[in-house]
Amino acid sequence: MSDYVCPLDYRYGRREMKAIFSEKSRIEYQMQVEAALARAHAKLGEIGQADADEITRVAGADVVSVERIKEIEKTTNHDLMAMVKAMTEQCQGDAGKYVHLGATSNDIVDTATALQIKAALAIIAADVDDFTLTLAQIAKRERDTLEIGRTHAQFAIPITYGFKLAGYIAEMLRYRERFEEIAPRACAGKMAGAVGTGAALGPNFMKVQIEVMADLGLTYEPAATQVVGRDRYTELICLLAMLGTSLERYATEVRNLQRSEIAEVSEAFDAAHQVGSSTMAQKRNPINSENVCGLARVLRGFVVPTFESQVLWHERDLSNSSAERFTLPHAFVLIDQMLCKMNQVFKGLDIHRDRMVKNIQSAHGLIMAEPVMMALVGKGMGRQDAHEVVREASMAAEDGDRDLKDTLWERSEIRQLMTLTELSQVMDPATYTGASGEITDKMVAAVEATLDRKV
């Protein structure tokens, strides 16, 4: 058996995302930054092009091994300097003299982190688009599927299931915008030396920094300390936590609608092989949605240490470093897992339209109190008077376990203003979904326009 402790090592997370934050990848990203620094120096005539090419050649795990770096770190007790020494010893000629020239550790660390964030955000953006497309496909299909809307966990008025998902789509499209907006702020590096003044880089400091970041496809901190401003990471982790909370909201709705007494939707279940319970053989549990809810709580837990890591002494201290080794990788791995799992849930979601109809019927007309009130107003009754008439009839129907239409028709105020046929028509749930269909169509069209893909 393995001796893993963290569930990301053996249970959660997709290989593609975890690879970005693996130890090997982190070191390779850092070596890429060292190579970009050497190329910038060469472009500005500060070192020879051959030396920059040689540094670029050794900047990879196929030349500089992780094992060798760890061996050196046992002596240096400094992981970044161990990497620099390992690169230097692999360089031929005089190129090793120019590795890490003018830089401080966090020039390399923070810029490499920006590269990791850039790669991770590309995956999240694709995840968001895939999930949004799935929602749009279901919304289009279920555009006119009648369902009871609920407020305070009580029956309210009719909606359609497509309309419910239209709200999720609008929210996910906003996340797409947020990730596009945050990318330049989150994917920022620095090449400004020990306290951000660029003194060790000499008179070409500004040009070196611009060249390095242009080479790597990053923005840069315009007025750094020894580190990139941690407000960038705070914003990023908060955004990931926000997205996780939205996914928890959708998962919670699936869980509630799968409750035995509601049973309007349910997660896919492999009845031939899947086990719901070790003892209750009949169980079909919403385990994937529950999993998303649990992971969302862990994800939000990374917000507090990220805020606290924003507060560093003077031009910086090291209190952020250990925390960020947890927060950034874990947050990205978890949100990627959650997006993919939520997409899987909705792709396989069983929608029980017959149960939605039965639940509407079980309301005995009470969910149509509002349209009756509005119809009475349309016939000339004052709004407050109409509300009271319908309220009294509703209370009588509920207390007597009767149909609302019957208790309404007993009232002379109703009979004076409409016929029984008119009352029946007003109380048809299918006629009172407002602009549900139009709103759903609009959001599906927005997905098609935004993603440039047909739903």
Q: What are phi and psi of 212, to 5 degrees?
A: -60, -45
Catalytic residue among 22, 277, 322, 362: 277
User: Looking at residue 1, what is its pLDDT?
Assistant: 61
Catalytic residue among 152, 273, 278, 412: 152
Residue 204 is classified by DSSP as: G
The pTM (predicted TM-score) of the whole model is 0.94
State which residues form the domain around 242.
105-358
User: Looking at residue 403, what is its pLDDT?
Assistant: 97
User: Looking at residue 234, what is its pLDDT?
Assistant: 98
Query: Is the pLDDT score of 101 beyond 80?
Result: yes
Residues 6+ apart with CB under 8 A from 343: 127, 130, 131, 134
111 falls within a domain: yes
Query: Is the pLDDT score of 238 beyond 90?
Result: yes
Is residue 202 within 8 Å of residue 41, measured between CB atoms? Answer: no
What percentage of the chain exceeds 70 in pLDDT?
Answer: 100
211 falls within a domain: yes
Q: Which two tokens stand for residue 79?
A: 């992981």
20 and 57: one domain?
yes
| 275 band by pLDDT with thresholds 50, 70 and 90 | confident
Give the total number of structural domains in the chain: 3
DSSP 3-state percent helix, strand, coil across the chain (nearest 5): 65, 5, 30
User: Looking at residue 274, what is its pLDDT?
Assistant: 79
User: Looking at residue 49, what is its pLDDT?
Assistant: 97
Whether 277 is catalytic: yes
Could you give the residue ranges of the DSSP H alpha helices within 155-282?
161-186, 205-216, 231-257
pLDDT tens-digit map of 36-61: 999 999 999 999 999 999 999 999 88
| 10 band by pLDDT with thresholds 50, 70 and 90 | confident
CATH code of 226's domain: 1.20.200.10
Residues 6+ apart with CB under 8 A from 157: 148, 149, 367, 368, 370, 371, 432
Span 274-297, average pLDDT:
86
What percentage of the chain exceeds 90 in pLDDT?
Answer: 92
Q: What are phi and psi of 218, to 5 degrees?
A: -120, 160
Distance of alpha carbon 20 from alpha carbon 119, whole angstroms? 7
85 and 172: one domain?
no
Span 250-276, average pLDDT:
89
Query: Is the pLDDT score of 164 beyond 80?
Result: yes
140 and 187: one domain?
yes
Cα 200 to chain centroid distance, Å, stands at: 40
Query: Is the pLDDT score of 264 beyond 90?
Result: yes
User: Looking at residue 226, what is its pLDDT?
Assistant: 95
Distance of alpha carbon 157 from alpha carbon 266, whole angstroms? 22
CATH code of 419's domain: 1.10.40.30
219 falls within a domain: yes
Which residue, 40, 6, 30, is CA-closest to 108?
A: 30
77 falls within a domain: yes
Span 333-356, average pLDDT:
97
pLDDT tens-digit map of 289-338: 999 999 999 999 999 999 999 999 999 999 999 999 999 999 999 999 99
Average pLDDT, the chain: 95
Which of 49, 71, 98 is the last residue before a domain boundary?
A: 98
Distance set, CA 435 to CA 140, 148, 427, 428, 441 (Å): 14, 15, 17, 16, 10
79 and 45: one domain?
yes
Whether 364 is catalytic: no
280 falls within a domain: yes
